[in-house]
Structure formats: structure tokens, C-alpha cells
Amino acid sequence: MGQLPPAAFSTDNDEVQGWVCDNGKMNLRVINLAEAFGSFSEYWSPRIAGEINDSFVKLAKLSGEFVWHHHEKEDELFLVVKGILRMRLRIEGEESELRIKPGEFVIIPRGTEHLPIADEEVHVLLLEPKSTLNTGNVQNERTKSELSRL
Ligand code: NI
């Protein structure tokens, strides 16, 4: 990676917050989670907030119950930013539940049946391969195949 001008790294100047470089070759900016979550309101509709290697960083607002599904090839990380995420799991026919609180994350391994539930509004950061569909092996009205970027 080439060197950026020193000014680009200044942290005491509001004017350099936001995009540092957006020239089509490099995409470097600071993401403020509170601002990012404030920029959309739709539930169960992940927004792409960044790319890391072959994965997307996504932000999603959850409310209510999703659908049981699994991902054949992708592990999924859920980092809770707000609220309490209940993650129901079905492993070898046995149901169990994890509760993930703000500041905590869980990785759901590929192949694992899971059902996210948000009794009250939950904000999550997801980290998962770009190929990951929100409803995994299930295709229904909850499926979002085209995600917008923040
Ligand atoms: Ni999933």
C-alpha cells in the first residue's frame, strides 16, 4: 500500500473525518457505527458497510423473529452493538439458545441451523463471505439478494 499524505491521518481535524481516499483504487474511511445505524431503518435488510478480503462487513437492524436456515459453506459472525440477540440453534436435533449482548459476538459455523430473534430492536455487525445470502438455504420473502451499500 502506498503512503497517504500525513494530513490524512490527522485525528484532531474534523475535515479529514469521513472519506480519506475514494479514487476507485482505494476505499479508505472511518465508519462510525452510531451514524451508520442512524442512516437506515429497515429491519432484516443488511447494508454493506465494508469489504475485507473475500468477506463483507454488514450492518443490520433486527426486530422480531427471522426464519430457520443454515449456510452450506459460510461461517457467520454476529457482533451485537445494541439490544440482546437470541440465537436459537438446532444441533443434531437438539434445540438450544444463545443470548448475545452488546459488545459480544458469536460465530455460527457453516451448516448449523440457526434462528435469530430480536424481542426488542437489535443492531448487529455481520462478517461473512460475500456469497452469503441472509436466509441461507431458504428462499422466501425474507431473502435479500441485492444489498445496498452505506
Ligand atoms: Ni444465517
* Pair 104, 56 in one domain: yes
pTM of the entire structure?
Answer: 0.84
* Pair 137, 71 in one domain: yes
pLDDT tens sequence across 28-48: 888 999 999 999 999 999 999
**Do residues 81 and 58 make contact, with C-beta atoms less than 8 angstroms apart?**
no
* Pair 22, 52 in one domain: no
Give helix then strand counts, H and E, for the chain. Answer: 1, 9
* Pair 92, 136 in one domain: yes
Is the model's pLDDT at 61 over the cut of 60? Answer: yes
Domain with 141 in it: what CATH number? 2.60.120.10
**What are the two backbone dihedrals, phi and then psi, of residue 48, each rounded to the nearest 5 degrees?**
-80, 120
Q: Would you say the C-alpha torsion 102, 79, 117, 121 has a positive or negative sign? A: positive
**Do residues 21 and 2 make contact, with C-beta atoms less than 8 angstroms apart?**
no
35 CA from centroid of ligand 1 (Å): 25
* Pair 70, 137 in one domain: yes
* Pair 72, 123 in one domain: yes
Residue 103: give the domain boundaries.
32-150
Mean pLDDT on 102-115: 98
146 CA from centroid of ligand 1 (Å): 16
Model confidence band, residue 55 (pLDDT cutoffs 50, 70, 90)? very high
